[in-house]
A and B are shown apart, each in its own frame.
Chain A
Amino acid sequence: MIFEQIFNMINVGLVVLDADLRVRHWNRWMELHSGISAESIVGEPIFSFYPDLNNPKFIRNCKAVLKFGNFAFFSQKLHSYLFPLKPASSFGHKFNNMQQGCTMGPLRDQDNIIRHLYISVQDVTEVVAYEQKLVAMNMQDGLTGVYNRRFLEGKLKEEFGRHKRYARPFGVIMCDIDFFKKVNDTYGHQCGDQVLKYVAATIQKLIRDTDYLARYGGEEFCCLLPEADLEAARKLAERLRQGVARGKTSCGDQEVEVTVSFGVAAVGPAIETPETLLALADQALYEAKRAGRNRVVVCPD
């Protein structure tokens, strides 16, 4: 009597299936979130209502539970969910379905014989939403939305190793906004932020999906270009330079013209470490600044 009440009041989905995988019990939580009443589903095969569960993995786990008394765990990370239910929390708008952590286990009769299995369903949507946000925050620059330096450094190492191993081309562009301090001093820091966003967005639009753009420092950005040799990287840098210079951004009613200087480098036999590659691009960027800004300089091979 008490347990029956708990079964229906607990904030967890509980389902009991028999050995033929027909539904025996379907608690109130499942009714609420699935929109399927216990009355209509009890006695029916679970697959009639949830045909996607009819897959080798789910069946294998059911058999292991019924035959061996195993417990089976369906983690959100790997499965996202077991039952396609509508997300219930306010975090749900990011997901098509409620994210679930599910457990399956054996239920025995008085003689210890396994006659049924239970599935518990826990709503973990909120946790997953927070987790995704944390992961994104860990990779992203808060202001511009492009990758941050931490992400870039990890990626640089990874890509450098890969391109060295397979002797594939790999290019890097370092860029720096010209006279950024003057923008800040003249128009204020809010305008400076606007300029940073404009430059990041313009570059992001012009690079390929496979390239990585990161904010490297204050007004410095860096692009990693897998499969791009020095010439391809130079051409892209030139397009980026023109793209930024052609466009305009505005702060309030003030129109601001922005230019950017670029330094380009690519992996070659003499470059042993990712740090060297980045340092060479940085040297080229310094040359571009010295030669008058708003230009692309390529580091010699």
Chain B
Amino acid sequence: MDMAPEQILSQEEKDILQEIMNIAFGRASADLAEVIDIYVELSVPFVQTIRAVDLPAYITAELRNHEMISVVEQGYLGRFRGMALLVFPAGAGRELFSLLGDGGDVSSNGLSMAVMEKETLMEVGNILIGACVGKVAELLDDLVTYSPPRITVEEHSGNAVGADLFEQGSMATVMRTVFSFQNRDINGYFFLINSSESFQWLKKALYLFLEKYA
């Protein structure tokens, strides 16, 4: 499949997707606040189509201001399918751990602080990814399941995202947003990398969405 990036999604389609993400993230953050007291702000998303081989370099460039990062990655699988990456700057695990406030069990179960931070990042990552991807899928009239999250803790930003994550020769839509936790100095990046196999479906779903709401 040798298409130029711009042929995959037209500008109009990208605009619709961006709008969908905007609505989805708004709903997701409202629900997160209401249901589990996690207050998160998600910036207006940015949609771009690039070749999968260029993804690691693209992500590295996006993250050049952070020397050390932690990445939670999780696959989502529906007709809408791909890989979600949540990128936290180093130290975010500690902040989130104190934010979620159920730290009583650190000493009692003998786990080290590093493990608890990792667990917190993974749990928050799982919830955040599930909420956001779930809402996007819902607006596209789809249901998704998820693979277990995987985490890379405090790596140099150049190494944290491996090229082997993505199929070679394929195209990906990158949906990027910056999130921050209210009242806390934690922010990071959220990438949804939609795999090319779901493009045909995605195009149709985007126009169906438009018909329903426009």
What residues of chain A have their CB less than 8 Å away from a CB belonging to chain B?
55-57, 60-61, 63-64, 67-73, 75, 77-78, 80, 103, 105, 108, 112
Q: Which residues of B contact A61 (CB under 8 A)?
A: 123, 127
Knowing A63-B35, A64-B36, A68-B131 are in contact, say whether A56-B100 is a contact too (CB < 8 A).
Answer: yes
B119 at the interface (CB under 8 A from A): yes
B123 touches A70 (CB 8 A): no
Is B166 located at the chain interface by the 8 A CB criterion? no
Q: 1/0 contact trace for B127-167 toward A, CB 8 Å?
A: 10011001100000001011011000000000000000000
B148 — which chain A residues lie within 8 A by C-beta?
Answer: 71, 73, 75, 103
Are A112's CB and B143's CB within 8 A? yes
- Cβ–Cβ < 8 Å partners of B102 in chain A: 55-57
* B15 on interface, CB distance cutoff 8 Å: no
Q: Give A108 to B142 CA distance when docked, in angstroms.
A: 13
CA distance A36 to B145 in the complex (A): 31
B131 touches A64 (CB 8 A): yes
> How far in angstroms is the closest Cβ of chain A from B146?
5
Q: Which of chain A's residues have a CB closer than 8 A to the CB of B122?
A: 78
Q: Is the CB of A68 within 8 A of B130?
A: yes
- Contact partner of A73 among B31, B101, B149, CB < 8 A? B149
User: A105 to B144, alpha carbons, bound, how many Å?
Assistant: 11
Do the beta carbons of B119 and A70 come within 8 Å of each other? Answer: no
Are A64 and B145 in contact, with the CB atoms below 8 A? no
Known contacts: A55-B102, A56-B100. The answer to whether A70 contacts B109 by CB under 8 A is no
- Size band of the interface chain B makes with A: 20 to 34
Known contacts A56-B100, A56-B101, A78-B119; A71 and B36 CB within 8 A of each other: no
Residues of B contacting A73 in the complex (Cβ-Cβ under 8 angstroms): 126, 148-149
Inter-chain CA distance A73–B102, complex, in Å, is 18
Cα A67 to Cα B134 with chains together (Å): 10
State whether A71 and B145 are in contact (beta carbons under 8 Å apart), knowing that A56-B101, A64-B131, A78-B119 are contacts in the complex. Answer: yes
Given A56-B102, A60-B100, A70-B126, 8 further pairs, Cβ under 8 A: A55-B105, A61-B123, A64-B131, A67-B31, A68-B35, A68-B127, A69-B134, A105-B145
Of the candidates B36, B119, B135, the one whose C-beta lies within 8 Å of that of A63 is B36
CB of B1 within 8 Å of the partner chain: no
> What residues of B have a CB within 8 angstroms of the CB of A80 in the complex?
109
Kindly state the separation between the CA atoms of A60 and B101 in the bound complex, as whole angstroms: 12
CB–CB A72/B126 < 8 A? yes
Contact check: which of B111, B131, B146 meets A78 at CB < 8 Å? B111
> Nearest chain A CB to B29's CB is how many angstroms away?
12
Check B115 for interface membership: any CB of A closer than 8 A: yes
Considering the chains assembled together, what is the distance between the CA atoms of A67 and B130 in angstroms?
10
The distance in angstroms between the C-alpha atoms of A108 and B143, with both chains bound, is 11
What is the distance, in angstroms, from A110's C-beta to the closest C-beta of chain B?
13
A63 to B101, CA, bound (A): 17
Contact A70 B131 (CB under 8 A): yes
Residues of A within 8 A of B119 (CB): 78
| Measured CA separation A9–B197 after assembly (Å) | 36
Q: Residues of A contacting B134 with CB < 8 Å?
A: 68-70
Residues of chain A within 8 A (CB-CB) of B143 are 69, 108, 112
Cβ-closest chain A residue relative to B101: A56
Contact bitstring B155-190, A, C-beta under 8 A = 1, else 0? 000000000000000000000000000000000000
Name the distance in Å between A104's Cβ and chain B's nearest Cβ: 10
Q: Can you name the residue of chain B whose Cβ is closest to the Cβ of A64?
A: B127
CB distance from A81 to the nearest CB of B (A): 11
In contact, A68 and B101 (Cβ under 8 angstroms): no
Minimal beta-carbon separation of B134 from chain A (angstroms): 5
Q: How far apart are B26's CB and chain A's nearest CB, in angstroms?
A: 14
Query: What are 25 residue pairs bridging A and B, where the CB atoms are less than 8 Å apart in the complex?
Result: A55-B102, A56-B102, A57-B102, A57-B123, A60-B100, A60-B127, A61-B123, A61-B127, A64-B130, A64-B131, A67-B31, A67-B35, A68-B28, A68-B127, A68-B130, A70-B127, A70-B130, A70-B131, A70-B146, A71-B126, A72-B123, A78-B115, A78-B119, A103-B148, A112-B143
Min Cβ gap A37→B in Å is 30
Q: In the complex, what distance in Å separates the CA atom of A60 from the CA atom of B33?
A: 12
For B100, list chain A residues within 8 Å (CB).
56, 60
B109 touches A60 (CB 8 A): no
Query: What is the CB-to-nearest-CB distance from A281 to chain B, in angstroms, rounded to a whole number?
Result: 30
